Amino acid sequence: MEFVDLKLSGEPKVKDPVFVEGLPGVGNVGKLAAEHLIDELKATKFGEIHSKDFPPQVFVTPNGTVKLVNNELFFWKAQKRNQRDLLLLTGDYQGLSSQGQYEIVDRVLGLLEKYGVKDIYTLGGYGLGRMVPKPNVLGAATDLALVKAMKKHGVVFREDEPGGGIVGASGLFLGLGVQRGMSGVCLMGETSGYIVDPKSAQAVLEVLAKILNVTIKFDRLETKARDMDKIAQQLRDMERKASEKGHEELRYIG
């Protein structure tokens, strides 16, 4: 097995496709968003990526069989004139090391170049360390023209704050993509960073759907969001009770 093993099960016939990446990260926002988009569009799987930089494990499926952890590639053909073909990437993990991250992203970019990709959208979460009732979608882009275009879709750019960084595949696809003549945007949904965040994933997807001119339903994400809200409330109740108990214990000291 190679360090990065990319196997294709077919050759999608795509024209001027857009690439969308959503791998696990903060709040699992990118992965949730990409998987929901793939399901809603009924995109077709055409490739798998295995790497020695993924965790050394398999997943046990509901029927009792095992699956080696991987990333998966999908494609979708445009249905209308104002749409474009899509290539999409999601998966179980990102690379565990810096070398692995670079090699996996570089290998995928080589494939994207072959299919004529010029535009990239990477999806992720922006951790705030607190619960976010109504998440904004923050952006980072490879050029000022894209910044201007994304603002029209409601994407927020923190231009008045000190510069930060985007760690992992969502940042590398943009940075290494520029070296191959590609341009792109990272869309990040605000999230606590503590739990899986379907609400933030929906906020990101609502923006992306407008950009791509696709119509998708959010029923399943909204159901997941309600479930996570219940869990978040339980966590807040536990924190409050622990705090109250601490204050009670302090009154008996001295």
Q: What is the pLDDT of residues 2-57, one digit of tens each?
A: 999 999 998 999 999 999 999 999 999 999 999 999 999 999 999 999 999 999 99
CATH number of the CATH domain containing 141? 3.40.50.10900
| pLDDT at site 131 | 83
Asked if 104 and 4 count as a contact pair (C-beta separation under 8 A), the reply is yes
pLDDT of 194 over the 90 cut: no
Number of residues written out for the chain: 254
User: Considering the domain boundaries, does residue 236 fall inside one?
Assistant: no
- Beta strand residue intervals within 26-164, DSSP E: 44-51, 58-60, 66-68, 71-76, 86-91, 119-127, 137-141
User: Considering the domain boundaries, does residue 32 fall inside one?
Assistant: yes
Other beta carbons within 10 Å of 218: 17
Instruction: Map tokens 């965790």 to a residue.
Output: 55
| pLDDT at site 161 | 67
User: Considering the domain boundaries, does residue 243 fall inside one?
Assistant: no
Range of the domain at 183: 4-216
44-51 vs 66-68, strand pairing mode: unpaired
Q: How far is CA 210 from the centre of its chain?
A: 17
Task: Tally the domains of the chain.
Answer: 1
pLDDT of 163 over the 70 cut: no
User: Considering the domain boundaries, does residue 208 fall inside one?
Assistant: yes
User: Considering the domain boundaries, does residue 144 fall inside one?
Assistant: yes
User: Considering the domain boundaries, does residue 222 fall inside one?
Assistant: no
| pLDDT at site 132 | 87
| pLDDT at site 227 | 79
Q: Looking at per-residue confidence, does 242 or 173 come out higher?
A: 173
| CA nearest to 145, candidates 194, 113, 184 | 184
Q: For 123-140, write each residue's pLDDT tens digit.
A: 999 999 988 889 999 999
- Could you give the CA distance from residue 78 to residue 81 in angstroms, rounded to a whole number? 8
Instruction: Give percent above pLDDT 90 in the chain.
Output: 78
User: Considering the domain boundaries, does residue 193 fall inside one?
Assistant: yes
- Quote the mean pLDDT of the chain: 92
User: Considering the domain boundaries, does residue 233 fall inside one?
Assistant: no
